[in-house]
Amino acid sequence: MRKTLVLSRKNQKWLGVFLLSLSVSWGVMQLNFSQIQGWSIKSVYGQNLRPEQAAEIIYQRLPELPKENDYYSAETGEINPNHTLMGRFIRYHKDFKRRSPQHPLDWKVTIADYLGVNQSIRESNYPGSTLTSNPLTKDIEVMRQLSRRQRQQLVDLLVEIYNPQPQTTTNQGVPNETEGTSSPESTSETPGLSRPGDAQLLTP
């Protein structure tokens, strides 16, 4: 009887562990569902979101933005539909220019690169090495065709995705020179980013 009681307690322990793991798994499933619905994007992803994942969210929220995903992979020789304009834009911003994804001013400076009013973009400094042809020229053309409203919407959404803290200034227009100099956290985190007044160059 005593041996049977010990085994029964062990079974109860393992049953409890199983139920706990099942509960955690269900919680993860619910969390993934909320991601699909677009709830609490910034609290779920934050800084760890990959550019391709962020690009997918952008196209879900802003479906009018061009994907430009008809380029051929140099490895497979087939079209890589996951190599999108927004994915390249984010990777250029984060990986190549090392700019912060949390502040709207930094995103606007990157847009200014595409508009040709800030730093010039070189093919060797642009994410396209895995494709048979570098998409830089066409990407610049497409980005320049976006309206000011579309560019602002894009910046607002990127900040929402990557910044876990609520932003209160992302709905404002293009910052003036005073606003550019009042954002020390942007320049302090990423040395050598924008200079005062760079954000004014966003709208040619």
Judged by phi (left if over 0) then psi (alpha if -120 to 50, else beta), residue 172 lies in: beta
SS3 131: strand
What's the pLDDT band for 114 if we cut at 50, 70, 90? Answer: very high
The two three-digit tokens of residue 160, written as one number: 């929402």
* pLDDT tens per residue across span 136-183: 999 999 999 999 999 999 999 999 999 866 545 445 544 444 444 444
| Distance from C-alpha of 85 to C-alpha of 71, rounded to nearest angstrom | 11
Q: In this predicted structure, which of 27-31, 129-133, 167-171 has the lowest mean pLDDT?
A: 27-31
Its pTM stands at 0.61
Supply the pLDDT for residue 90: 98
Average pLDDT score over residue span 75-93: 96
Q: In this predicted structure, which of 9-23, 45-59, 100-114, 180-194 has the lowest mean pLDDT?
A: 180-194
| Distance from C-alpha of 204 to C-alpha of 200, rounded to nearest angstrom | 9
Supply the pLDDT for residue 180: 44
The H or E element spanning position 141 is helix 136-145
All residues at 6 or more sequence positions from 150 whose CB lies less than 8 Å from its CB, including other chains = 62, 64, 65
Supply the pLDDT for residue 181: 42
CB-count exposure of residue 71 (10 Å: 0-12, 13-18, 19+)? buried
| Distance from C-alpha of 99 to C-alpha of 202, rounded to nearest angstrom | 16
| Distance from C-alpha of 69 to C-alpha of 85, rounded to nearest angstrom | 7
What's the pLDDT band for 41 if we cut at 50, 70, 90? Answer: very low
Bridge partners (DSSP) of residue 131 are: 73
| Distance from C-alpha of 194 to C-alpha of 118, rounded to nearest angstrom | 9
